[in-house]
């Protein structure tokens, strides 16, 4: 119990598949208890509802980026977890930190070197960056955060490789290798990758990081979000008409898809017995079945949209029109 707890930072741009990989880790039969710290960009978190079993403790941090406004919360939460572990009231073997897709992992990693209390209890094992093979080229062109996520990585995992050809993967791999020649690159399909390749790898090399970020240990690593990127939440306590919703979302994605960086939600649709998990990136979107609604549980929907200059009023009005006229209690 006195040994340092290994910490893995899981990062990557919006919609790359971080939560899918996290679920893969949590459901693997490794026999460990894991504490998860999640960060969402916006006023409400969705990913907690997407996580499966195997978590000893989930802590959410909303209303900011983990590397900016809530970094103090990260230090506080890590300290509280360490205190509970030492007191025997909470047991966990490792910590996984899933950053928001707009986070620069540098300041997060700094926490484990600049704060003496945190460094006494925790060991930064690795920064794992998931890269969307479909959208990575555009993301790297337009967002410095995407470049920073690649630059700080100890492992680069390519998701959605089944949606692009081998030539595209080769070009992307060359670019990633140019940005970070020390990080191994491997494909990951729906989060499936050997855990031995991403956990307990002692991959975080401080000397290598100091080469790309000389001020890393000075606490002077800062970044700024593009003010055009905003998030908003849509909530409803009536079920959606599935056909209307699908048609409306299809229209919205065709018109504004280039600026829709990430959108996701947990939905009540028609009289389906289970929640519908809805996720999308740009013009790629899909849904899947979630946990069943309880017998007397209030059906409600929550959707989060993150994008550039999105027409919030148009989207909200359209979603309102997709709601069923009669309220379904089950």
Give me the residue spans of the domains in the chain. 5-218, 230-321
- Out of 1-5, 221-225, 246-250, 317-321, pick the least confident: 221-225
Threshold 0.75, pTM exceeds: no
CA angle centred on 122, ends 184 and 105, rounded to 5° = 45
Tens of pLDDT, residue by residue over 36-50, are: 888 765 444 444 444
Q: Selecting from 3.40.50.300, 2.60.40.420, 3.20.10.10, 3.40.50.1000, what CATH number does the domain 5-218 have?
A: 3.40.50.300
Contacts of 98 (CB under 8 A, 6+ apart): 10, 11, 18, 19, 22, 36, 37, 38, 39, 47
The pLDDT assigned to 284 comes to 80
Q: Selecting from 3.40.50.2300, 3.40.630.30, 3.40.50.970, 3.30.1220.10, what CATH number does the domain 230-321 have?
A: 3.30.1220.10
Tens of pLDDT, residue by residue over 58-115, are: 565 444 444 444 457 788 888 888 998 899 888 888 999 988 888 888 778 878 877 7
Q: Which of 42-51, 243-252, 305-314 has the highest mean pLDDT?
A: 243-252
H/E run at residue 95 = strand 94-98
Between β-strands 34-39 and 55-61, what pairing exists: parallel, antiparallel or unpaired?
A: parallel
């Amino acid at each position: 119990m006195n040994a340092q707890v290994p910490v893995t930072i899981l990062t990557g741009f919006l919609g790359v598949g971080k939560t899918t990989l996290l679920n893969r880790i949590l459901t693997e039969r490794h026999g460990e208890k894991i504490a998860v710290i999640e960060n969402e960009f916006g006023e409400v978190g969705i990913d907690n509802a997407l996580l499966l079993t195997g978590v000893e403790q989930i802590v959410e941090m909303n209303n900011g980026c983990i590397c900016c406004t809530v970094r103090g919360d990260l230090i506080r939460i890590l300290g509280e977890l360490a205190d509970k572990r030492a007191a025997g009231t909470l047991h966990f073997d490792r910590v996984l930190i899933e950053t928001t897709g707009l986070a620069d992992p540098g300041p997060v990693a700094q926490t484990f070197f600049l704060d003496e209390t945190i460094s006494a209890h925790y060991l930064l094992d690795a920064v794992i960056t998931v890269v969307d093979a479909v959208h990575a080229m555009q993301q790297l062109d337009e967002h410095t955060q995407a470049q920073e996520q690649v630059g700080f990585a100890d492992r680069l995992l390519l998701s959605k490789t089944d949606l692009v050809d081998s030539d595209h993967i080769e070009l992307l791999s060359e670019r990633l290798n140019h940005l970070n020649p020390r990080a191994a690159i491997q494909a990951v399909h729906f989060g499936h990758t050997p855990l031995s390749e991403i956990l307990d790898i002692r991959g975080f090399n401080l000397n290598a990081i100091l080469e790309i970020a000389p001020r890393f240990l000075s606490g002077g690593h800062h970044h700024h979000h593009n003010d055009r990127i905003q998030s908003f939440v849509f909530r409803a306590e009536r079920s959606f008409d599935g056909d209307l919703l699908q048609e409306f979302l299809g229209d919205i994605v065709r018109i504004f898809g280039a600026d829709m960086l990430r959108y996701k939600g947990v939905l009540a649709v028609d009289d389906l017995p289970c929640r519908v998990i809805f996720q999308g990136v740009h013009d790629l979107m899909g849904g899947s079945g979630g946990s069943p609604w309880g017998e007397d549980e209030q059906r409600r929907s929550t959707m989060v949209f993150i994008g550039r200059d999105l027409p919030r009023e148009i989207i909200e009005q359209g979603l309102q029109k997709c709601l069923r006229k009669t309220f379904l209690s089950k």
